[in-house]
Amino acid sequence: MAKGRADPDGKPMVQLMGIVRVFGGGEGAVRALGGIDLDVWSGDFVAVMGASGSGKSTCMNIIGCLDRPTAGTYLFNGIDVGTLGADQLAILRRHGIGFVFQGFNLLARTTALENVELPLIYQRVPKHERRVRAMEALDLVGLSHRASHVPNELSGGQQQRVAIARALVTRPSLVVADEPTGNLDSATSREVMELLVRLNREQMITFVMVTHEEDMAAYAGRIVVFRDGHITRDSLTEGATDV
């Protein structure tokens, strides 16, 4: 199994061990994941690929604590996620994991700054601190000068940058990105991927990204391929650093 930058304690950030996910029951049961093992290390940039129905999205939902496995063990920073109740899972998602989606999911009548602030409101962060941290996140993605603009005043690439800033503002351990370039043209897709690579390398932000595009996956340091509920490839790319 490919391994990225080692954590100080020598343990992966994400450990999936024998993860099984079955939907439905009886003769209609669908085995989406057939007992997979996967480690994600701090500082990794992992691209997850596979055909529709391969299990990649199911795996991502489990990593993001949006779904629970039918069997197996998931450790996130050493915490056994399977032992957590619904409220504890919500806290883990809110504080430990950032999400970036294909659709930007920005509030239409809300400025870029206010969109980025939203997760901090749920964390009950004081208003002044929210503003400071949101501006810092926008600066990380090169959009502090557009803080007062609403989404329809921004290009698609800029809207996705705002969405990335929103994912980063809570300072999560992990960012899960689901087809982050799916709604963008080729040139803008490259710009967004270059941004993610820079954030990964300079800020040591850990990314797990689902993509069906091989040229986008090539930006990652590591590629994991799913097929029929199993991992068929887990390898470092030519662009991987600190192997």
Q: Render pLDDT for 199-235 as a digit per residue (tens, 0 to 9).
A: 999 999 999 999 999 999 999 999 999 999 999 999 9
Contact 160, 180 (CB under 8 A): yes
Decide if pLDDT at 127 tops 70. Answer: yes
pLDDT recorded at residue 58: 95
Beta bridge partners of residue 209, listed in sequence order: 47, 177
Cβ neighbours of residue 9 closer than 8 Å, sequence gap 6 or more:
none
Q: Which of 156, 203, 181, 142 is nearest to 47 (CA)?
A: 181
State the pTM of this model.
0.90
Could you give the CA distance from residue 237 to residue 217 in angstroms, rounded to a whole number? 9
Residue whose pair of structure tokens reads 């993001």 in the numeric block:
64
Domain residue ranges of the chain, discontinuous segments joined by +: 14-236
For domain 14-236, which architecture applies?
3-Layer(aba) Sandwich (3.40)
Residue 1: per-residue pLDDT: 43
Q: What pLDDT sits at residue 11?
A: 87
Confidence band of 154 (pLDDT split at 50, 70, 90):
very high
Closest alpha carbon to 177 in 47, 55, 50: 47
C-alpha torsion sign, points 36, 234, 195, 151: negative
